[in-house]
Amino acid sequence: MNALARYRDAHVGGCVEALIEQRADGSTLLRSTEALRWFPARLSDCLEQWAAEAPARTFAARRGRDGALAGEWQRVSYAQMLQRAQAIGQALVDLGLSPERPLAILSGNDLEHLSLAMGALWAGVPYVPVSTAYSLVSQDFGKLRHILRVTQPGLVFASGPEYARAIAATVDAGVPLLMTEGGVEGRAVRAFSELLDTEPGPTLAAAHARVGPDSIAKILFTSGSTKLPKGVITTHRMLCANQQMLRQCLGFLADEPPVLVDWLPWNHVFGGSHNVGITLYNGGTLYIDDGKPTPAGIAETLRNLREISPTIYFNVPKGLEEIARAMDHDTQLRDTLFKRCKAFMFAGAALSQAVWDQMDGHAEAAVGERVRIITGLGMTETAPSCTFAVGTDVASGHIGLPAPGVEVKLVRDACTGDKTEIRFRGPNVMPGYWRLPEETAAAFDDEGFYRSGDAARWIDPAQPPRGLMFDGRIAEDFKLSTGTFVSVGPLRAKITLLVTPACRTP
């Protein structure tokens, strides 16, 4: 760490100081010294706000895929998205969708997916974004079949004919189908474009009026690395509270409308809740990146970053590694990326110090100063962010201090004795797993703190204000630099159950 390095000015706060309470039972409580400020009751209120204040501003854009518009950015403004949301919302109400019959979205990030999500939020219909791999990679469709069985959707959407095989194998004949293009043999399929022609009416107005902070916005499924995926109930309160936490920690988000260039999948909390939420909550613009941090996919990401200068940039460590390597010989990419970027943030795994140093070097070459790289800790069950490290002394592995409104409890693991679990309580924490009461009860301790399963320790026990450091999993699971989850916990759990009866759980 170079103490003399100069960093680009960026308004941060909220998570830089904490009240620390040592308890008689050996646990430690941490709270931000800054209170959580007001946040709206519904995420859809943000869409209405920006449609009124900045109607022509682009909310989201994606490059055209075919024909004369191939390669050109297709844009949807805030005013246009509000119109789409209300038309689609009415169509969902007409189809009888509800928390018991939600909307399932099988395909990836595109303008139709986003429009459906906004329509569902407006109408108070939960939506279920499903990993595309469950339809396009899986051979037995086991996880897709499980998710559809658990949620019982009243409508299933897919973007194109590549999903036909998965739909035919898993979606009951009585469930309506919606597609952008193509069809499924032997099934009636409604075109997405038809929904945009629906005229909003009083039944939509009534449905929208019933939406409140505790209404379910969406059900996000966990990765299901060791078991079948669990559905995390995600409410409007969780999403709005977490976005306000983000705004207070990353104050520059409110200083100017953020611009994102992002590929992270919307079935995951980082892309779908964190990044889409940042855009919507702060009236920004999201450029949907069809690239991926893979040898075949990175070229599209680099193409987009040569053209669009983000104000904040998110990726997994593997993605930042590929971008840093490309900037070694691509000054246009380097200069465009750093032109107005206030911060980088990664998640999914640790960023190597070598890549971190590369990013610092490229920033200094491009703009004469470094751009801070921020980190933190979050998860699907917390919508997602709980802690942040936002200073210029951050290093890989740091997770910082609690965001405003989040209470952190550090508890020594009774079984291992060498790990301290970090637990969370706050308005961003889930009410539970969908239709899994036993798993929900087991996920919380007797004070209502969510048991994350993650371990943390002080960066410097003699200087608690420096914050916390990630210390692996209680069960020693981990992720690769691509964000791929690798589980070694089951073996340890079996051994522990055999040799330490006291650690067994009912």
The CATH number that applies at residue 33 is 3.40.50.12780
> Do 101 and 138 have their domain in common?
yes
Q: Is the pLDDT of residue 300 over 70?
A: yes
What is the pTM assigned to this prediction? 0.92
Residue 254 lies in a domain: yes
> Do 498 and 386 have their domain in common?
yes
What CATH number has the domain bearing residue 133?
3.40.50.980
Closest by Cα among 395, 372, 408 to 20: 408
Domain boundary among 211, 226, 260: 211
Would you give the distance in Å from CA 268 to the centre of its chain? 5
Helix (H, G, I), strand (E, B) or coil at 424: strand
> Do 417 and 327 have their domain in common?
yes
Percentage of the chain beyond pLDDT 70 is 92
> Do 206 and 257 have their domain in common?
no
> Do 58 and 175 have their domain in common?
yes
User: What's the farthest any 2 CA atoms get from each other in the chain?
Assistant: 69
C-alpha distance from residue 335 to each of 250, 330, 392 (Å): 23, 9, 21
Within a 10 A sphere around the Cβ of 38, how many other Cβ atoms?
Answer: 6
Closest by Cα among 111, 102, 108, 106 to 84: 111
Would you give the distance in Å from CA 76 to the centre of its chain? 21
Average pLDDT over residues 253-276: 97
> Do 255 and 189 have their domain in common?
no
111: containing domain: 44-211
Residue 238 lies in a domain: no
> Do 53 and 68 have their domain in common?
yes
491 vs 287: CA distance, rounded Å: 42
Residue 306 lies in a domain: yes
85 vs 93: CA distance, rounded Å: 12
> Do 461 and 447 have their domain in common?
yes
Our count of domains for the chain comes to 2
Domain boundary among 166, 186, 211: 211
382 vs 429: CA distance, rounded Å: 4
Q: What is the pLDDT of residues 62-86, one digit of tens each?
A: 999 877 678 999 999 999 999 999 9
> Do 379 and 492 have their domain in common?
yes
| Six-digit token string for 294 | 């893979």
In the prediction, which pLDDT does 129 show?
Answer: 98
Domain boundary among 211, 239, 274: 211
376-379's contacts with Cβ under 8 Å and 24+ in sequence apart are 376/345, 376/347, 376/400, 376/403, 377/422, 377/452, 377/454, 377/456, 377/468, 377/470, 378/269, 378/270, 378/274, 378/347, 379/269, 379/452, 379/454
In the prediction, which pLDDT does 350 show?
Answer: 81
Contact 269, 298 (CB under 8 A): no
In the prediction, which pLDDT does 366 show?
Answer: 97
> Do 28 and 55 have their domain in common?
no
> Do 261 and 384 have their domain in common?
yes
Residue 443 lies in a domain: yes
In the prediction, which pLDDT does 415 show?
Answer: 73
Residue 292 lies in a domain: yes
Residue 307 lies in a domain: yes
Would you give the distance in Å from CA 349 to the centre of its chain? 14
Residue 11 lies in a domain: no
Q: Is the pLDDT of residue 420 over 80?
A: yes
| Six-digit token string for 445 | 């301790």
> Do 386 and 414 have their domain in common?
yes
The set of residues, in sequence order, having a beta carbon less than 8 Å from that of 325 and lying 6+ positions away, is: 358
Question: What average pLDDT does the structure give for the chain?
Answer: 92
Backbone angles phi, psi at 336, to 5 degrees: -70, -40
94 vs 81: CA distance, rounded Å: 20
Contact 383, 238 (CB under 8 A): yes
C-alpha distance from residue 223 to each of 214, 215, 267 (Å): 24, 24, 10
Residue 240 lies in a domain: no
Closest by Cα among 264, 351, 266, 352 to 310: 264
Average pLDDT over residues 468-493: 62
Q: What is the pLDDT of residues 125-175, one digit of tens each?
A: 999 999 999 999 999 999 999 999 999 999 999 999 999 999 999 999 999
C-alpha distance from residue 21 to each of 27, 112, 386, 469 (Å): 9, 48, 18, 18
